[in-house]
Amino acid sequence: MFNLNSLHTIHCSLHTIHCSLHTIHCSLHTIHSRLHSIQCSLHTINCLMHIAEHCNQLRHHTF
């Protein structure tokens, strides 16, 4: 059975992967549309903020 920390670690890893994919997706879109790239950047920033909020708390517990 997973404890809360390992679930949290998985959750954070998935978020990190998700954000990386967004960043790649955004850089592809930048070629097509400047507006889309701005929206993308905001989304990526939100993504990173979410990781910072949740995953930094986790790091304090585990390391």
Q: Read off the pLDDT of residues 2-27 as tens digits, 9 standing for 90 and up.
A: 577 788 788 888 888 888 887 787 77
Q: Taking CA 32 as the corner, what is the angle to CA 50 and CA 41, rounded to the nearest 5 degrees?
A: 15
H helix intervals, the chain: 4-32, 34-62
Cβ contact 6:59 at 8 Å:
no
Instruction: Check: pTM over 0.85? Answer yes or no.
Output: no
Instruction: Choose from 30-34, 35-39, 57-61 the range with maximum mean pLDDT.
Output: 35-39
Maximum C-alpha span of the chain: 47
Q: Taking CA 56 as the corner, what is the angle to CA 47 and CA 49, rounded to the nearest 5 degrees?
A: 20
Cβ contact 51:5 at 8 Å:
no
The pLDDT of residue 61 is above 60 = no
What is the predicted pLDDT for the residue at 21? 84
